[in-house]
Structure 1
Amino acid sequence: MDKIILKNLQYYGYHGLLPEETKLGQRFNVDVELAVDLKKAGLSDKMEDSIHYGQAYEVVRSIVEGDPKNLIESVAEEIANNLFKNFDLLQACTVRVIKPNPPIDGHYESVAVEIYREKKL
């Protein structure tokens, strides 16, 4: 399957279990892979035969910058669900939500969750 890839989308949100996370907020990075047949778009050169990545960016933004959630797992699930609601051509998606600076002791680059969802028939 062909893919449209949105990599390292950056937002500021208020997700987390700790009070300081929901009060102060933090950065979140998101990677999204949209599985869609792009052959028709490649031949027609028409936007209606593809998924507009600017609109996909806004779908993700509305969730990450929206209502706080306890878990980034919930953030990823809502992103996937809303992508399917907004794009009829979408067949499957991979969503990775990355917390670059979670409030945990230790040395690490980030923590993340990644989910893969397919269109329900």
Structure 2
Amino acid sequence: MTHVLLVDDEEALRSSLSYALVKEGYQVTTAEDGQTALKLFHKQVPDVMILDLMLPGIDGMEICWRIRAFSDIPILMLTAKDQDIDKIWGLEAGADDYITKPFNTRELLARIKAVLRRRAGSQSPPQED
């Protein structure tokens, strides 16, 4: 089962998005702040991370940089920061996708599937004839 680490400080969003992810067949772990997210990440490395930028304590950008230092798991930033420069910084920090709030849950689920599909495809060497 694909494990998702969902990091957001909004309890209502964590709850509703967790419900949608579980309904799609994902195992979900949630964190409400950066410190907890890093602890959970090291305890059980997820297959994909959904990460808010504006978190108490360690912000999402710092979490992304720290994780990118040793891991290439797909990271999708899900944030209210919608300026072009924020998107650029997020992608340059190592995010695989950047989605702004408010968002469509079905679109987010499709984007998760897409990054996981790309990751699975990149781990398989091409077949030679």
TM exceeds 0.5? Answer: no
Relative to its length, the structure with more strand (as a share) is 1
Structure number, greater radius of gyration: 1
- Structure of higher RCO (CA pairs closer than 8 Å, 6+ residues apart): 1
TM-score, with length taken from structure 2? 0.30
TM-score, with length taken from structure 1? 0.32
